[in-house]
Structure 1
Amino acid sequence: MRTRMKVAIGAGAAVVAVGVVAGIYGPGLYADRASEAADDEPTLGTSMAPLADTEAAEGTWTVGDGSFAGYRVEEVLQGADVTVTGRTEEVTGSVTVTDGTITAAGIEVDIASVATDETRRDQYFRDQAMEADTYPTAIFELTDPAELRSGATAVELTGDLTIHGVTQPATVEAEVAGDASGGGPVQVIGSVPITFTDFGVEAPDLGFVSVEDEGSIEFSLQLRSGA
């Protein structure tokens, strides 16, 4: 699933600006505010049931409204653990299913639109860390077919992930559910761990605040049938 996940991998970069923000609010207050602002991990909607018949999912599915992608990263601010998340709904792409198997997928997310609770962090993320003017998209492209199983939600997606102009192999642990026979929506959620330096992004360390070298990309896609 060559999902150009423009969003996610900016995690480490986005947090670099935290030093400026923490200096304004103070470490203790900033840590509390950041943790409270962090988004929950993606989950399947309560109305989403496992696919009863994978053959009903035959065809091309397009990413629609209600989809999002983003990143999750942990930072340490003067000994306090802080979770930071960034999100965007600027996600496009499609997924193709043939004989109950995902045979192709391509998703794009607009890097410049990824946002957190702090505009200073977001500006650093866009302009310096991710260099969005030069690398406007992040991409995950499916390289191996992924079989869907009737009555089950789990599916493993193997592909190439491109961030900041660097492509690395990636495995996404995903879940799929919804009403394929009715044309959708079908929801796909998942995450993939990343190491920032693998994509040419350095995790910041400003002394009083540091970012873990690893984070994760998260997404929730709302798919609808249509060529």
Structure 2
Amino acid sequence: MRTAVKVAIGVGAAVVVGGAVVVTVGPGLYADWANSRADDAPALTAPEQVTDADVLADLDGGWAVAPGSYAGYRVHEVLRGADVDVTGRTDPAADDVTGALTVADGVVTVAEIEVDVAQIVTDQPPRDAYFRDTVMEVGTYPTASFELTEPVPIEAAGSDVALTGDLTLRDVTREVTVTAQIAVADGGAQVVGSVPVTFGDFGVEAPSLGFVEVEDAGSVEFSLELQPRD
């Protein structure tokens, strides 16, 4: 029974609906359809990136993660030779991502982010149920978190900021480097980025079948809307 669940989730919508769909449309057409439903990578939407000392000074202080934030994952499947990207996200309208950051003299000194893993969803409920119950075991490990371990200066406009810290998934903690970008606007700020993860490092086994393989690495993606902390 456990293997059957892995088959359904690993293949994605086509096999969840019925194996005949894959045969009828072919892996190439299914891949095109699935890729069209994958979310774009998080990107800055705030109009003013960190460009000069004045804007940088506006970032000094404490910040709280606000509504509009989301986090999730991106994984890559190969279905009979066709490449498929799958993305799962929390709802930006909900409070599924929480946390706080502190910036002092243009340096990020504190960053603690927590995600309600059970709220990460794709366009396929069966895949989501497998992700929650079997992959992430949210009943035992309900949250994922990131905690900055090294202060990092915020530099020129549009440049990547490398945030080194501890990523915890399923109660397993590993040091990672998060590539992020920061922008400010209307008294708030936005941080977007991603971090590559290897599933085995966190005790997760990627499904692998004759006609579909899920790569053993993916990425955690996020977009954080920040407001000054009271």
Distance 2:180 2:225 in 1: 13
Deviates more, 1:136-145 or 1:17-26: 17-26
Asked if 1:70 corresponds to 2:72, the answer is: yes
Larger-gyration structure (1/2) = 2
**What percentage of aligned pairs have identical amino acids?**
54
Q: Distance in 2 between matches of 1:31 and 1:100?
A: 44
1:100 positional shift: 1.3
Partner of 2:90: 88
Compare relative contact order (CA 8 Å, sep 6+) and give the higher one, 1 or 2: 1
Q: In structure 1, how many angstroms separate the alpha carbons of the residues matched to 2:153 and 2:212? A: 43
Superimposed CA distance per residue, residues 20-77 of structure 1 (whole angstroms, 9 cap, x where no aligned partner): 7433343335433321110001111162322533222121101111111111111011
TM-score by length of 1: 0.86
Residue 117 of structure 2 contacts residue 142 of structure 2 at CA under 8 Å; is this kept in 1? Answer: yes
Task: Output the aligned Cα RMSD.
Answer: 2.1
Q: Secondary structure at the match of 1:86?
A: strand
Please tell me whether the aligned partners of residues 64 and 229 of structure 2 are also in contact (alpha carbons under 8 angstroms): yes
The question of 1:130 aligning with 2:136 is answered: yes
State how far apart, in whole Å, the 2-side matches of 1:191 and 1:15 are: 28
Which region of structure 1 is more displaced relative to structure 2, 14-23 or 155-164?
A: 14-23
Does structure 1 residue 113 correspond to structure 2 residue 115? no
Gaps of 5+ in 1: 1-12
Deviation string 1:79-119 (CA, Å, 9 cap, x unpaired) is 11100000003111110111211100111111001010100
**How far 1:19 sits from its partner (Å)?**
3.6
Query: Is 1:205 matched up with 2:205?
Result: no
Give secondary structure in 2 for the equivalent of 1:217. Answer: strand
Distance 1:99 1:210, change over 3 A: same
Secondary structure at the aligned position of 2:67 is classed as coil
1:101 is aligned to 2:107 = yes
| Counterpart amino acid of residue 50 in structure 1 | V
